[in-house]
Amino acid sequence: MDKWKTIKERLRHLGGSVELLADGHKLQLVKAHNGKRIFVRVFVDGSIDFEWTKTEGGKPVHPEGRFWRPMKRAAYSKKHYAALKRGWGKKEADRMITPRVIAVVPDFGTEGATVAHLKKHFPDLEIKADEVAP
């Protein structure tokens, strides 16, 4: 079975988890909930340090942040576009409503989104040896 399918399969149910090795770091993916929504949380080397959420120029400041989801937000919502265009001009108004990466967060909405991110950025990751089923 493909390693990406194996990861998705293990995260299919609430409480599911899998340990991975990527770029010299140990990742633990855990499917959890907070009472309102279900998500996949990524632990890097067994912990989450919210210092790792910082970004500069859309890239994570700390190397551990590369494993997390980039969070994009715009300075203003599109409903304010007309007023921004009148006040600042079209070019500046377009820049103000364009989403930019403002942080990286350890939660992904689905296991598919988690796998897609890891597949894109870490194609050579491995499932930890003691995690592989016989």
**Over the stretch 67-84, which tens digit does the pLDDT of each residue have?**
999 999 998 999 999 999
Check if the beta carbon of residue 51 is closer than 8 Å to that of residue 59: no
Q: Which pLDDT band, with edges at 50, 70 and 90, does 134 fall under? A: very low
Query: What span, in angstroms and rounded, lies between the C-alpha atoms of 12 and 40?
Result: 10
Is the pLDDT at 29 greater than 70? The verdict is yes
Is the pLDDT at 85 greater than 70? The verdict is yes
Q: For the whole model, what pTM was predicted?
A: 0.81
Is the pLDDT at 133 greater than 60? The verdict is no
Q: What is the mean pLDDT of residues 52-64?
A: 90
**Over the stretch 86-104, which tens digit does the pLDDT of each residue have?**
999 999 999 999 999 889 9
Q: Which two tokens stand for residue 100?
A: 């930019």
Residue 93's H or E segment, with its range, is helix 90-97
**pLDDT (0 to 100) of residue 1:** 58
